[in-house]
Amino acid sequence: MPRPPLTVRSFAPIAAPDARLLILGSMPGVASLDAGQYYAHPQNAFWRIMGELVQAGPDKSYDERTRILRKRGIAVWDVLKSCVRPGSLDADIRDEVPNDFAAFFAAHPRIARIGLNGGKAAASFRAHAARHCPPGVPVARLPSTSPAHAARSFAEKCEMWRAGLGLDASL
């Protein structure tokens, strides 16, 4: 019997007060919700990409990875605070409730760049959060790290993330 649609809730952000870069997903998938960790699905490329870009890869513990991100001024959060979704596919998300971006940006005034992890994060950000974004902060739509989106190679995704996040210049 199919699992009934459930209201799912995101996590608190991974963010130091002096964060300069914000990476936003849409909503954690089932594996992440079960583990209580961002990007916990073993096939999700997020932590592999973070390993290549800032040495916060899956070879380290989750606590160590999040510590590295904070130290590097990188925040991770989701656009959505909650939604109804029967599984892990972004296409199944409905009844979106956004996170409080006005409060986040007030508490993190040094955010200078935003990266959106995939199309659903980008669409939800435009619909719910863009109006709270500080003026002049560049926002980049990045290729999804989800295992459901394998149209690009890992190397291509890494380079697109590096460029989109401005890691060569800013961090």
Q: What is the pLDDT of residues 17-28, one digit of tens each?
A: 999 999 999 888
Q: CATH homologous superfamily for 6-165?
A: Uracil-DNA glycosylase-like domain (3.40.470.10)
With contact defined as beta carbons under 8 Å apart, do 165 and 141 qualify? no
The whole-chain average pLDDT of the chain stands at 91
Domain ranges of the chain: 6-165
Beta carbons within 10 angstroms of residue 33's beta carbon:
18
Of 37, 44, 99, 145, which one is the catalytic site residue?
A: 44
Which residues in 126-142 are b (16+ Cβ under 10 Å) and which e? Answer: eebbeebbeeeeebbbb
Tokens 């079960």 belong to residue: 34
pLDDT score at 171: 46
Residue scoring higher pLDDT (8 or 75): 75
Query: What is the 8-class DSSP label of residue 14?
Result: B
State the pTM of this model: 0.91
pLDDT tens column, 95-141: 889 999 999 999 999 999 999 999 999 999 999 999 999 999 999 99
Task: Let me know if 44 is a catalytic residue.
Answer: yes
